[in-house]
């Protein structure tokens, strides 16, 4: 099979890396050692799966040999069972290897910046945005990842007009990138006396964290303002000028960071968010230029796409991209979103496989 042509080369390269990692000069060169370790870790799933594939292929050959030569009916029956199991496993492993050999998104291993904004629906949209933030917070904490809030604009009644935060964790972008898009809630607001169901929205943007080498920012394109951090109603919550506002003239992007007590830390966070937004703009332009590629991906393209509906009266959540409906809204709002993410990953992989074949 053509797709497996390079697997032998990958195994040889993996073995070369393993041998190199035991060399004293490599062990003493931490940068080289860490780089090789990272490459080895990325190849391990492919190598392990290929070895299991080869083992099952051998099992098929052995079983066929027994069936051709053996006269003992009991042994032949056992060989038939082993043959059926090995064939089934080989089929599954072939698909797994094809998926592992798909071109990897270069951003998948990156940490991320997430931004949640209240959309249509006033106070109800802001309340929903705050609930989405708590949903992701619980999910991130359950995965033992780290979350850092850059900025939040609270309404004072438990809602959020917007919140921006960083997520640091293994493969964060590869998992949470499917959350980008418009999330819609359908429910009866507490303020609604007539019991009518209202529809509100909030948008979620998931951006890979960009290093300085990924995005060049010219100092003359930036205005930096420092001020005192403020809370709800505009009251000052800090007695020093620690809050930082960045204005990027070419794009009009304005970043505000006030969660840290140190001006330097707030400035670092603000620049991290600006780099992520500028990098994201470049990614969006690339997606726009490759319309077919964008359409084949699940939820990493159009930010205006309505991706999911949370229907409270019926206790259901529907992901419109993949046609998945789950009746466990309470658990999902408490951070149990892995089933949805897994389904998006599978749908994305199947779409890419279909395109590759």
Structural domains in the chain plus CATH codes: 2-100 (1.20.58), 112-352 (3.30.70.1660)
Q: Give the model's pLDDT for residue 235.
A: 46
Residues in the chain: 357
The string over 7-36, giving b where at least 16 C-beta atoms fall within 10 Å of a residue's C-beta and e elsewhere, is: beebbeebeebeeeeeeeebeeeeeebeeb
Which one has a higher pLDDT value, 102 or 286?
102
Q: Which residue spans within 209-344 are E strands per DSSP?
A: 222-227, 243-248, 253-257, 306-311, 316-319, 324-326
pLDDT beyond 70 at 321: yes
pLDDT beyond 90 at 133: yes
Most confident option among 203-217, 228-242, 250-264, 322-336 = 322-336
Give 43: exposed, middle or buried? Use CB within 10 Å, 0-12, 13-18, 19+: middle
Query: Mean per-residue pLDDT for 267-286?
Result: 84
pLDDT beyond 50 at 294: no
**Which residues, in sequence order, are bridge partners of residue 202?**
118, 183
* Residue 181's pLDDT band (cuts 50, 70, 90): very high
Query: Mean per-residue pLDDT for 133-154?
Result: 94
Q: What is the DSSP string of 32-49?
A: HHHHHHHHHHHHHHHHHH
* Residue 193's pLDDT band (cuts 50, 70, 90): low
pLDDT beyond 50 at 263: yes
Q: Give the model's pLDDT for residue 301.
A: 45
pLDDT beyond 50 at 37: yes
Q: Give the model's pLDDT for residue 233.
A: 44
Backbone angles phi, psi at 224, to 5 degrees: -110, 120
* Residue 240's pLDDT band (cuts 50, 70, 90): low
Query: Mean per-residue pLDDT for 73-82?
Result: 90
Query: Mean per-residue pLDDT for 134-149?
Result: 96
pLDDT per position as a tens digit, 82-126: 999 999 999 999 988 988 888 888 888 889 999 999 998 888 999
Q: Give the model's pLDDT for residue 43.
A: 92
Most confident option among 74-88, 219-233, 267-281, 295-309 = 74-88
The mean predicted confidence, pLDDT, of the chain is 86
* Residue 3's pLDDT band (cuts 50, 70, 90): low
* Residue 251's pLDDT band (cuts 50, 70, 90): confident
pLDDT beyond 70 at 234: no
Q: Give the model's pLDDT for residue 151.
A: 87
Q: Give the model's pLDDT for residue 345.
A: 92
Q: Give the model's pLDDT for residue 288.
A: 67
- pTM here is 0.76
- Residue 334 DSSP class: T
In the chain, what percentage of residues exceed pLDDT 70?
89
* Residue 292's pLDDT band (cuts 50, 70, 90): low
Q: What is the DSSP string of 162-175?
A: EEEEEEESTTHHHH
């Amino acid at each position: 099979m053509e797709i497996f042509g390079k697997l032998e080369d990958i195994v040889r390269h993996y073995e070369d890396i393993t041998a190199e990692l035991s060399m004293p000069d490599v062990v003493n060169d931490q940068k080289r050692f860490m780089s090789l370790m990272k490459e080895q870790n990325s190849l391990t799933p492919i190598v392990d799966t290929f070895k299991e594939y080869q083992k099952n292929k051998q099992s098929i050959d052995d079983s066929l040999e027994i069936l051709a030569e053996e006269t003992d009916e009991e042994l032949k029956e056992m060989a038939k069972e082993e043959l059926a199991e090995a064939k089934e496993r080989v089929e599954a492993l072939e698909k797994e290897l094809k998926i592992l050999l798909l071109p990897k998104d270069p951003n998948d291993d990156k940490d991320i910046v997430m931004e949640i904004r209240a959309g249509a629906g006033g106070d109800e949209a802001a309340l929903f945005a705050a609930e989405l933030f708590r949903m992701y917070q619980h999910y991130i904490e359950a995965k033992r990842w780290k979350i850092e809030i850059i900025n939040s604009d609270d309404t004072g009644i438990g809602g959020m007009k917007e919140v921006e935060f960083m997520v640091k964790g293994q493969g964060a972008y590869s998992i949470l990138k499917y959350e980008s898009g418009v999330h819609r809630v359908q429910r009866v607001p507490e303020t609604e006396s007539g019991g009518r169901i209202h529809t509100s929205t909030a948008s979620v943007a998931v951006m890979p964290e960009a290093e300085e080498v990924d995005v060049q920012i010219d100092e003359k394109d930036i205005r930096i303002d420092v001020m005192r951090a403020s809370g709800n109603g505009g009251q000052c919550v800090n007695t020093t000028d620690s809050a930082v506002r960045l204005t990027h003239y070419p794009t009009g992007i304005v970043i505000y960071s006030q969660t840290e007590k140190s001006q330097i830390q707030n400035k670092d966070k603000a620049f991290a968010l600006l780099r992520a937004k500028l990098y994201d703009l470049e990614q969006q332009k690339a997606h726009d230029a490759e319309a077919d590629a964008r359409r084949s991906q699940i939820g990493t393209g159009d930010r205006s796409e309505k991706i999911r509906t949370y229907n409270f009266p019926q206790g259901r959540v529907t992901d419109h991209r993949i046609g998945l409906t789950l009746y466990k809204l309470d658990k999902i709002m408490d951070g149990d979103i892995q089933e949805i993410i897994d389904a998006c990953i599978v749908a994305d992989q199947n779409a890419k496989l279909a395109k590759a074949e």
